[in-house]
Each structure stands twice: as C-alpha cells, then as structure tokens.
Amino acid sequence: MTSLRWLFPILFAILSACSASKGFDRAGIQESLHQQLDFAGGREATHPTTINPSLAESLHLGIYFIRREFPARHSIQTMEWLSADKDAVVQHLAPLRKDKIVREVTVLAEPTALTLTRQELRQASARFGIDVLLLVDGVGAVDRYNNAYALLYPTVLGAWLAPGTVIDALFILTSRLWDLRTDQLLDQQTAEGQAHRTGAVVLMDNTETLKEAKGRAIDIFGEIAVSHLRSLTAKQAGNSSSLR
C-alpha cells in the first residue's frame, strides 16, 4: 500500500509532463507585457534617441517595480519583485552615480494597491523629489518536458534518480523612463534571461529555474540601462556644445 501511495502521484507527474518541448509563447509574453500601466495622455518622446536638456543634469532617479496580475496562460506567469531583486537593480545602476549622471536613486515603496494610477505615481514621486522615474516590469515563462530518461520513472527509484525532466525558463524584463518634469516617455528597453535545468522529476522545481532566469535578466538589464543613459547624456552634451 505504501508503494502504491507513492506510485500514483509519480505516474500522474509523468503523464502530465510527457510531451516534447513546446518552446516559449513569446507572443503571449509580449501581450502580457503590453498590459502595463495606462499612460494614455502621456507624451512620447518625439525623437527617442534625443534626451531633454534637463535630463543631462545630475538626476534624482526613481524606480517603480510594476505589480500586476493577468489571466493565467499556459507556462506564462507573473513574478513577485523581491527585495533582493530590487537591490540588484539598484546596484547595477551604481556606475551612473560615479559618472554623476544620477545623484540619488529611490525605489518607490510597493503600494497596497496592485498598481498605481498615473497621478498617484506622480504624487508619490513628488514626495521624494524624483526627477525621472524608471518603470520596471517583467514576465516569466517555463517550458517543462521529458527526455528519454523519463522511461525509468515508473520504477519509482528512477523518479528520484533518473534525470528525465527538463526545465527551460525565460524571464523578460522591460523598462521605460518617464521624465516627470516634462511628462515625456522615452523609448523602452528590454532584457532577457534564460536558465536550463535537468534532473529527476520529484526534485525539479519550476520556481528555482525561473528565479535563475530572472537574475540573469536583471544582470543584462543593468548593463543595458547604464549604457543607455550614458549614451543619451553624451548625445545631449554633444548637442549642447554644437549650439554654443
């Protein structure tokens, strides 16, 4: 009876996971990411590669990590922004302080509400004297499938030892700068992180693989964000010099 009690959930796991890799639903991910805060009425940058002169000065940069939910989709899920994730993003932006592009970085506290309206975000930023707000969003996806070793799972011991389960994870992070003084939205930046794990079915955890993918996306995003702000600032400095 004890062996049967273990056998049924293992067989159920095998049947539910017995399929080839389906890949990532990138169209679904992009659709989910487009369900961001509503900035209808906000002004897009006329020239995305040109920064407002006020942004060429040392900035007080704010960061808002978007919290939201969307209808469940196969393999696509939202992920909580943990304190460690937020700290990692701030640390990656540290070079901007050394360059004197940014004088201070403030992470807006997570609100009780799932999302803040445009006006609420502006008011929250004004309390801290934030000049420019960085909006950060992200979505994760998992592709879980079996390889040939899964044929050993019905032996019960194989479910603990055979590396028959494969998990591929993807995390896509997007961001956008909002100049609160001019109400101007600058171009969007995107970073992707992926992770891959193979192991026995009872030991494999989607959450840990997604966490690894998210960490890699944050690392890549840090490089992109720093490079982007440096580039915008340098271009503005060049434009200012040409006008003298």
Q: Which CATH number covers residue 153?
A: 3.30.160
Nearest to 49 by CA among 234, 242, 240: 234
Q: Is residue 214 part of a domain?
A: yes
Bridge partners (DSSP) of residue 135 are 64, 176
Domain span at residue 100 reads 23-43+54-242
The answer to whether 173 and 218 have CB atoms below 8 angstroms apart is: yes
CA atoms of 1 and 177, how far apart (whole Å)? 60
Q: Is residue 17 part of a domain?
A: no
pLDDT tens per residue across all 244 residues of the chain: 455 555 555 555 554 545 677 777 777 777 767 655 445 445 554 444 444 555 556 889 999 998 766 655 657 777 889 999 999 999 999 999 999 999 999 999 876 555 667 888 888 899 999 999 999 999 999 999 998 888 888 887 888 999 989 999 999 999 999 989 888 888 889 999 999 999 998 888 889 999 999 999 999 999 999 999 888 787 665 554 444 4
Q: Is residue 205 part of a domain?
A: yes
Q: Is residue 217 part of a domain?
A: yes
Q: Is residue 79 part of a domain?
A: yes
Q: Is residue 135 part of a domain?
A: yes
Q: Is residue 88 part of a domain?
A: yes
CA distances to 22, 125, 126, 206 from 107, rounded to whole Å, are 37, 10, 13, 28
- Predicted pLDDT at 86: 95
CA distances to 10, 132, 165 from 146, rounded to whole Å, are 13, 46, 5
Q: Is residue 6 part of a domain?
A: no
> CB-based contacts of 194: which residues, under 8 Å, 6+ apart?
168, 169, 170, 171, 213, 216
Which pTM was predicted? 0.79
What's the number of domains the chain is made of?
Answer: 1
